[in-house]
Amino acid sequence: MTPTLSSRQRLLRSFTGEPLDRPAVWLMRQAGRYLSGYRAVRAQHGFWDVCKTPALSTQVALEPMALFPLDAAIVFSDILVVPDALGLSVSFSSGGGDGPRVGRPLRARADLDAWQLDDVQARLAFVPRAAAHLRAALPADRGLLGFAGAPFTLLCYTVDGGSSDDFVHTRTLLARDPGLAEAALSTLAAVAADLLCAQFDAGCDVVQLFDTWGGLLTRDDYARFALPALRAITDRVRAHTKGQGKTILFVRGGHHLLPLLGEAGVDGLSLDWRTPWREARTLHPRLTLQGNIDPVALFAGADHVRARVRALLRDMRADDDGRRCIVNLGHGILPGTPEDAVAALVDEVVRGAG
Ligand code: CP3
């Protein structure tokens, strides 16, 4: 039996391969619209104001930590801070639902030339500031995650100008002007890498790269466009943190990309709910794996959620006694998710795994 670990030890140990008393648990988008406290804050403040006011970003990041015994908090920010800081004026409709809007979509070389690279990290300084403020308010024995958008997903929003089912403009650009796409990806990677390094400097234990739209690409296109930009980020983070800063990559819809993802240079993979756990483990025996409960399972009642968690914990224990495993969802929590289902999920990990 492994002695009881603190939450932060558990999170960090899931990257060293040391034995765990149980897997750590945190949930993608754990702070957000499904929580009444978050909705109350948003009734009073704009989304960017919440991100840029440390007292507010810390308050909303701590709300799920107070409600559920989660092992780690995540900095309250957004992946679209990067295009916004490049001068592309990202906005969110107040009611939600329509998704983000990017003021100046990238369609031609002149649009890329207009990106404001001078002082871009100064315009992003509110993110590490939020991380440091949250770190100081969070109990020392809990973990802290930072994050950034993966370059290809950032390219999707900057080229199509908002959310889309198929990101036609982005994928057309890859085919018609691959040089422009690569130049934009390399700039997005450089900015995202510096942002992640700043979050480590501010006290984050681990960072996650969100490649929400990476699954739209074929293997060949992922290898050609997405992976080199990811590799630039992980190389930079590894050099900056002297190998201490751990990185997780989440690719939504990335089952077909699984054989390639070792080349991203990350320490962990966050699996989407359609990716079979054991298949990922067979392909990546040395990486930390995270996931992968369907967020929709949380709408099906506490008994269903508990059964799903037990099945996942069995899969995790089947190899290497559950080392290098983190429980999470296979995508972000959906608005409208019942809080008692989230409580059941976390409780089943905390109590059920002993
Ligand atoms: O606890 C947390 O995880 C909060 C931090 C966080 C947010 N966004 C806050 C947020 C994180 C990690 C993200 C990541 C993010 N943002 C992703 C990747 C994860 C995923 O779900 O695939 C993506 C694609 C985005 C881009 C984005 N930001 C979208 C599509 C939206 C929803 C827009 C809408 O109107 O529905 C946002 C806004 C956003 N980011 C909200 C939150 C809590 C909701 C904004 C609101 O209050 O209305």
Instruction: Give 209-255 pLDDT, tens digit per residue.
Output: 999 999 999 999 999 999 999 999 999 999 999 999 999 999 999 99
> CB–CB of 341/67 below 8 Å?
no
Whose CA is closest to atom 42 on ligand 1?
A: 32
Judged against a pLDDT cut of 80, whether residue 94 lies above it is answered with no
Judged against a pLDDT cut of 80, whether residue 285 lies above it is answered with yes
> CB–CB of 207/196 below 8 Å?
yes
Tell how far the Cα of 287 is from the centroid of ligand 1, in angstroms.
26
pLDDT class for 353, splitting at 50, 70, 90? Answer: low
238 is catalytic: no
Judged against a pLDDT cut of 60, whether residue 354 lies above it is answered with no
> CB–CB of 247/209 below 8 Å?
yes
Instruction: Give 291-303 pLDDT, tens digit per residue.
Output: 999 999 999 999 9
Global confidence as pTM: 0.97
pLDDT class for 320, splitting at 50, 70, 90? Answer: confident
**Ligand 1 nearest-atom number relative to CA 30:** 1
| Of 293, 174, 278, 191, residue with least CA distance to 226 | 174
Tell how far the Cα of 204 is from the centroid of ligand 1, in angstroms.
19
pLDDT class for 280, splitting at 50, 70, 90? Answer: very high
Residue of 79, 101, 126, 294 best suited for mutating to test ligand 1, as the one with most atoms within 8 Å of CB: 79
Q: Give the class (CATH, top level) of 7-352.
A: alpha beta
**Ligand 1 nearest-atom number relative to CA 212:** 22
Q: Give the chain as a 3 state SS string.
A: CCCCCCHHHHHHHCCCCCCCCCCEECCCCCCCCCCHHHHHHHHHCCHHHHHHCHHHHHHHHHHHHHHCCCCEEECCCCCCHHHHHHHHCEEECCCCCCCEEECCCCCCHHHHHCCCCCCHHHHCCHHHHHHHHHHHHCCCCCEEEEEEECHHHHHHHHHHCECCCCCHHHHHHHHHCHHHHHHHHHHHHHHHHHHHHHHHHCCCCEEEEEECCHHHCCHHHHHHHHHHHHHHHHHHHHHHCCCCCEEEEEECCCHHHHHHHHHHCCCEEECCCCCCHHHHHHHCCCCEEEEEECHHHHHCCHHHHHHHHHHHHHHHHHCHHHCCEEEEECCCCCCCCCHHHHHHHHHHHHHHCC
123 is catalytic: no
78 is catalytic: yes
Task: Determine the distance from the C-alpha atom of residue 6 to the mean position of all C-alpha atoms in its chain, rounded to a whole number.
Answer: 22
Q: Which residues of 36-47 are buried (b: 16+ CB within 10 A; e: fewer)?
A: eebeebbeeeeb
Structure tokens at 46: 């704009």
Tell how far the Cα of 119 is from the centroid of ligand 1, in angstroms.
25
Residue list, ligand 1 pocket, CB within 6 Å: 28-33, 42, 47, 74, 76-80, 92-93, 96-100, 147, 163, 210, 212, 252, 332
> CB–CB of 213/254 below 8 Å?
no
Structure tokens at 253: 């819809």
Q: In this prediction, what percent of the chain has a pLDDT beyond 70? A: 98
The mean pLDDT value of the chain amounts to 96
Report the DSSP pairing between strands 72-74 and 143-149.
parallel
Q: Is the bond preceding residue 292 a cis peptide, omega within 30 degrees?
A: yes
Whose CA is closest to atom 10 on ligand 1?
A: 78
Instruction: Give the length of the chain.
Output: 354
Catalytic residue, candidates 157, 160, 222, 272: 157
104 is catalytic: no
177 is catalytic: no
Sheet holding 288-293, edge to edge: 24-25, 325-329, 288-293, 268-270, 246-251, 206-211, 143-149, 72-74
**Ligand 1 nearest-atom number relative to CA 147:** 12
Judged against a pLDDT cut of 70, whether residue 78 lies above it is answered with yes
Whose CA is closest to atom 24 on ligand 1?
A: 212
Instruction: Give 142-168 pLDDT, tens digit per residue.
Output: 999 999 999 999 999 999 999 999 999
Whose CA is closest to atom 39 on ligand 1?
A: 78
Instruction: Give 25-65 pLDDT, tens digit per residue.
Output: 999 999 999 999 999 999 999 999 999 999 999 999 999 99
Tell how far the Cα of 50 is from the centroid of ligand 1, in angstroms.
13
Whose CA is closest to atom 6 on ligand 1?
A: 78
